[in-house]
Structure 1
Amino acid sequence: MPVTVSDLPRIVRQLTPHISTDYNLPPLHGIYLEADGTHLFAAATDRFTFALTRREAAEPEPWKAFLAHADLTALRALFPTRRRPADLTLTHHRGCTRTPDGRLTIGDGTRSLNLSANAGHAKKFPKWRKLFADALAAEPHQDAEACYNADFLARWAKATDRWQPLTTWSAGPGKPLLVAAGPDFLGLHMPVSQPEHRPETPARQRQDRTALRTVWADTLTPAAPARRLKAA
């Protein structure tokens, strides 16, 4: 039974910034898909950030697949994101002697794309449920500075529409930043390890809040008005 998704190109756009660029890690060099009977999940990670999104999709038989880099190139060419949203169907075909990895067919009623389901890569994709469950269960707690890579922070811009806000929580400076965009998109962003734990990093690069207050005190503290002498 095919799964119908109206915005698959948008899902690909949301997840693409989080795909690993390391060709030596094939299970991370693409987008993971999973149908569990009620939802279609899609995820991507390079181990520094992890993005997960879902769409409601009735599918009686669970399946997993993986869209490799070449598959995504073909998908973008056939169903470009600049086109208006249209229903696309994803049909998973079990593996057989000729295609042990199974097949995935993506179509819009007039055109279709036949791809390997890449079952081997899908099987090796990180177990995402516990990671996100633990992050959601942890109570927000931030009592010390946390460091984040600015380039990685920019990845989350693709998660939302132009005016949709991101919501973030953190269970502590050493814990992943939990990112949410609406009810169907979650992300995890690992912090940069603190400089004091990395001998090769100069201590002056640490952005300590107390030190920053001292450095900026003269600039941010309003100058007292000059006192004027009154004539006797």
Structure 2
Amino acid sequence: MSIVVNDLHRLIGQLTPHISTADTLPTINGIHLEVTGGRLVAAATDRYTFAVTHREVEETEEPSQWRALLDRADLHALRTLFPARTAGQGLRLAYDPPTIEDPDGGLVFRLNDRVLRLSANAEHAAKFPRWQPLFATALEAEPKLTSPAYFNPAYLARWQKAAGNYTPVTLWAAGPDKPLVVAVGEDFLGLQMPVRIDQRPDRGVPFGDRASIRAAWSHLLSPDSAAPATVLPAAA
């Protein structure tokens, strides 16, 4: 059971910002891999953001189906042995199913004469959150963001790794309490949960609702009839 992956480093780069760092959550301390029907699906989450991407892959045998989890140590080993300048040639990835002697199964990465053997972490991979119903619900909901929504800017920055500098990112949400949907092309999807605002004076984080923000800026935004209006061009 082996496949050929042509852009593993880009895939890892897209998902790494979303890996959980909580030591008590080993099932999400890495990148989850699924292979089914000639397609590789990779996902990562820390429960606040969730990112999924997929690739068509070349299979060398009959279509296979398996799951694995690459933890941070595995990802470091991959980057070290297969740097980006060489990994673009196409890594061959083989999966060894779990056995009594090796209940976690194995992954074998090959490129020319370089070979890296890793655990498939089958136990943790089997407990990775089911992403399909979560994303299906988000995609089926119609965009409807008529009230202000609040998002953590540190989490928003994670999506920069999903796209190139000049690749547009599509965003929408079904409401201020629904996840923000992030799409890059047709092979990357992400979800970011909004911030729960605690409006008690001694709790929560500083924020402003739409009315208070407008009031705070109104004295600086009074129209000046003598000055021409500024128009921003659409981004290239």
Supply the distance in 2 between the matched residues of 1:91 and 1:26 (Cα, whole angstroms): 23
Supply the distance in 2 between the matched residues of 1:222 and 1:83 (Cα, whole angstroms): 57
| Equivalent residue, structure 2, for 1:176 | 179
Q: What TM-score do the two structures reach when normalised by structure 1?
A: 0.91
Using the TM superposition, give the Cα deviation of residue 20 of structure 1 relative to its aligned residue in structure 2, in angstroms: 0.5
Residues 195 and 206 in structure 1, CA contact (< 8 A), matched pair in contact too: no
Supply the distance in 2 between the matched residues of 1:169 and 1:197 (Cα, whole angstroms): 29
Residue type at the aligned position of 2:49: T
1:30-49 to 2 correspondence within 5 Å? 30-49=30-49
Supply the distance in 2 between the matched residues of 1:112 and 1:41 (Cα, whole angstroms): 22
Supply the distance in 1 between the matched residues of 2:24 and 2:92 (Cα, whole angstroms): 31
Supply the distance in 2 between the matched residues of 1:91 and 1:84 (Cα, whole angstroms): 15
| Equivalent residue, structure 2, for 1:103 | 106
Using the TM superposition, give the Cα deviation of residue 83 of structure 1 relative to its aligned residue in structure 2, in angstroms: 4.4
Residues 146 and 194 in structure 1, CA contact (< 8 A), matched pair in contact too: no
Residues 32 and 122 in structure 1, CA contact (< 8 A), matched pair in contact too: yes
- CA deviation profile, 1:12-71 (whole Å, cap 9, x unmatched): 111100000111111111100000113100000000100100001256121000001111
Residue type at the aligned position of 2:34: E
Residue type at the aligned position of 1:177: L
Candidates 153, 175, 197, aligned match of 1:150: 153
- CA deviation profile, 1:53-104 (whole Å, cap 9, x unmatched): 0001256121000001111111111112354622011111111122111111
| Equivalent residue, structure 2, for 1:229 | none
Task: Give % identity.
Answer: 49
Larger of the two Rg values belongs to structure? 1
Distance change in 2, residues 1:220/1:19 (3 Å): same
Q: Secondary structure at the match of 1:77?
A: helix
Supply the distance in 2 between the matched residues of 1:61 and 1:122 (Cα, whole angstroms): 16
Structure 2 residues without counterparts, runs of 5 or longer:
227-236
Residue type at the aligned position of 2:107: L
Larger deviation: 102-111 or 182-191?
A: 102-111
Q: What TM-score do the two structures reach when normalised by structure 2?
A: 0.89
Using the TM superposition, give the Cα deviation of residue 222 of structure 1 relative to its aligned residue in structure 2, in angstroms: 1.9
Residues 91 and 111 in structure 2, CA contact (< 8 A), matched pair in contact too: yes
| Equivalent residue, structure 2, for 1:135 | 138
- CA deviation profile, 1:103-147 (whole Å, cap 9, x unmatched): 111111321111111000101100000011111001000111111
Q: Over aligned residue pairs, what C-alpha RMSD do you find?
A: 1.7
Supply the distance in 2 between the matched residues of 1:149 and 1:118 (Cα, whole angstroms): 31
| Equivalent residue, structure 2, for 1:167 | 170
Residues 197 and 204 in structure 2, CA contact (< 8 A), matched pair in contact too: no
| Equivalent residue, structure 2, for 1:221 | 222
Supply the distance in 2 between the matched residues of 1:95 and 1:83 (Cα, whole angstroms): 30
Residues 28 and 46 in structure 1, CA contact (< 8 A), matched pair in contact too: yes
Q: Secondary structure at the match of 2:80?
A: helix
Using the TM superposition, give the Cα deviation of residue 187 of structure 1 relative to its aligned residue in structure 2, in angstroms: 0.3
Equivalent residue pairs, number: 223
Supply the distance in 2 between the matched residues of 1:68 and 1:84 (Cα, whole angstroms): 19
